[in-house]
Amino acid sequence: QVQLQESGPGLVKPSQTLSLVCTVSGGSITTNYYYWNWIRQPPGKGLEWMGAITSSGSTYYRPSLKSRTSISRDTSKNHFTLQLSSVTPEDTAVYYCARSSALSTAGTKASYNYWGQGTQVTVSS
């Protein structure tokens, strides 16, 4: 059973960089052909797909966030990371990592096989 677990600071100051790690157990992030995604849900809003990294290391980003987003991985630790720069209070959300079998940018729950439990990140001074 694949399990994903997000970790990172719960509070980030405006203009700083948000950094989160998704640690995967029960399966390797290099196993073909999966996509490892970051998705967020701002308060009172729907799910928003942010980006993904594939089992081979290719990355895909939401166009509106591309200039501020970087997704990378550490295969030795079997985890992948999200960095979101120049954050504002509008980046306050619950951040999830999830696995999918295809590139899915819709952010609908059914598109992803496995989810982390989510981590609340608040951007505030």
Q: What is the predicted pLDDT for the residue at 5?
A: 98
Residue pLDDT tens, the chain, 125 long: 999 999 999 999 999 999 999 999 999 999 989 999 999 999 999 999 999 999 999 999 999 999 999 999 999 999 999 999 999 999 999 999 999 999 999 878 889 999 999 999 999 99
Partners of 19 in the beta sheet? Answer: 83
Partners of 80 in the beta sheet? Answer: 22, 73
Partners of 96 in the beta sheet? Answer: 39
Residues written for the chain: 125
